[in-house]
Copies of this chain bind each other. A is one copy, B any other.
């Protein structure tokens, strides 16, 4: 009963770290102390295991982001809360970001499901940003570009480990906090029109001229 979940978890870690193609069922099984056939018994085929991993990861991701967004107020505080939650998630469960990246690399048809699951929440985020801009709570920008850039910074922070190494930068909690502060001050400047030096704490709600 427990085995299926253990396989799913291990597969998520392995797929995120070494990629789908770099992970054989035998590898996976050995790492779990079981045989490959047990995996096939639970999931039928490697393809379906991959689908299960992608789908569950997407749902986990969406779960965190959706609840965070709903719990916050409106305008800038939402942006701040989502960025904060994203960084926390990225540090606590980097596999999820890794899987998302792997999904992008696999492309269709693998990505179909994930993209469809992600689309509504991204559309919500886009609409929210756009309405805040209409209300003058945020400066006008292409919300999709804001979302993409933000995602890229969060994802890059955890997945581009070798670039981090080349920069002599370890992604510990301190570095993650710095990164988050920097991203927030970028966004603050783009969305609120007030620039920070990166050392200042993010301010609360601000009203921007349209």
Contact = CB atoms under 8 A, between A and B. Distances in A.
A83 to B, nearest CB: 13
Contacts of A161: 104, 107
Most buried by B among A140, A160, A183: A160
B19 A118 contact: no
Contact of A141 (B22, B157, B197): B197
Given A153-B152, A160-B151, A142 B182 contact: yes
Contacts of A21: 18-19, 21-22
Q: Give chain A's interface secondary structure class.
A: helix
Contacts of A22: 19, 21
Contact of A163 (B104, B153, B165): B104
Interface string A113-156: 01100110010001000000000000111101111110111011
A197 B149 contact: no
B152 A157 contact: yes
Given A104-B159, A104-B163, A186-B186, A198 B141 contact: yes
A134 to B, nearest CB: 14
B142 A198 contact: yes
Q: Give the 5 A-B residue pairs with the shortest CB-CB distance, closest first.
A: A152-B156, A189-B189, A21-B21, A21-B22, A104-B162
19 contacts: A18-B21, A19-B21, A19-B105, A101-B101, A104-B162, A105-B159, A107-B161, A115-B166, A118-B166, A140-B198, A141-B182, A142-B182, A144-B167, A147-B167, A149-B179, A152-B152, A152-B160, A155-B160, A182-B190
